[in-house]
Chains A and B, each alone.
Chain A
Amino acid sequence: MPDLDRNLALSHRHQEMENQALGIEMSERDDVGMIDLRGKADDKAFMKNAATVLGVELPTDPRTSIKKGGIDILWLSIDQWLITTPLKSHDKTLSALTKKLTKNHALVCDMSDARSIIRLSGDRVREVLIKGCSFDATQPDFKPGTVRRLLFAEVAALAHFVDSNPDVIDLYVFRSYANYVWEWLLQTAHEDAGVGLFQVQDAPVV
């Protein structure tokens, strides 16, 4: 185990949350390891070896994810996946994967520290999302499990729709942008800034 403290990009921001009047809940996930895996979906040997280590086959449908035990595998491209692991077992998974894929055409990169994961939850999460992204996250086809890369508040990001009723969405942003995105969310997720899209409304004046 390292002798040094671990500091996440948003570690210092949690205390300020008490004073915020937000329409959603948000927090940084601090117990997740991440692996960027490259390999070709049509490379059978690669796919098999990866599945052996992870206990589940890599998803090949665009913008989907698979959950197995504590591991989530997020589709990023036809030759790229983002694997999230419980921090405790991360090193084990990483080295097992690296070892197993030695003979395959593959690239395994530890990316545990590259991104910050901001977990957004509540009924108004999608409303906040559409303020920053270039697509309509309120559409019903964004079901739990869906993964979508996006430009969010001018920042490259990834949204993982984790759960619904109430919605839980993990917003992945590169570490250096995390504070900016956090500030951005504090403004747009304010309880006074609700949209109320596609709900029963009070009838306007006629």
Chain B
Amino acid sequence: MLLIKCPICDCEGDETDFHYGGEGHIQRPTSSNPDKVGDEAQRDYLYVRKNPRGLHSERWLCERGCGKWFHALRDTATMVISKTYLITDKPPAELKKAGKK
């Protein structure tokens, strides 16, 4: 049972107070011009996800706090949540570094 702290309202609680929203930083390709998005790009956007052992960016909803979505960096091997940040923030440097490894 993860212990999570929301970066917006500081509400700390069990993961059941939050709602998991899958991998973070998935780019929606269609907002600008759907007709120009190829089938493969659409497939990747809809269904293809990373599954790393180690640092993983994911979206969480502060369901029993402020009701806002945020990002968390979680190590999938140790379960340690090393960082939480706003939903509108860019991927942090450590995530890029971990991805290259």
Contacts and interface: CB of A to CB of B under 8 A. Distances in A.
Nearest to B66: A77
A62 B14 contact: no
B67 A135 contact: no
B41 interface: no
Contacts of B9: 62-63, 77-78
Interface residues of B, number: 13
Looking at B8, B9, B10, which has the most chain A CB atoms within 10 Å of its CB?
B9
Contacts of A134: 13-14, 16-17, 64
B17 A135 contact: yes
Contacts of B64: 134, 148-151
A77 B67 contact: yes
B74 interface: no
A205 B83 CA distance: 46
A80 B67 CA distance: 10
**DSSP majority for the A interface?**
strand
Interface string A137-157: 000000000001111000000
B16 A151 contact: yes
A78 B62 CA distance: 12
Interface string B4-18: 000011110110110
B65 interface: yes
Given A78-B66, A149-B65, A151-B64, A135 B14 contact: yes
Nearest to B15: A134
B11 A78 contact: no
Contacts of B16: 134, 151
Nearest to B65: A149
Interface in B54-69: 64-68
Contacts of A151: 16-17, 64
Given A62-B9, A78-B9, A148-B64, 15 more contacts: A62-B11, A62-B66, A63-B9, A76-B66, A76-B67, A77-B9, A77-B65, A77-B66, A77-B67, A77-B68, A78-B66, A135-B14, A135-B17, A149-B65, A150-B64
11 contacts: A62-B9, A62-B11, A62-B65, A63-B65, A77-B66, A77-B68, A78-B66, A134-B16, A149-B64, A149-B65, A151-B64
Interface of A: 62-63, 76-78, 80, 134-135, 148-151
Interface of B: 8-11, 13-14, 16-17, 64-68
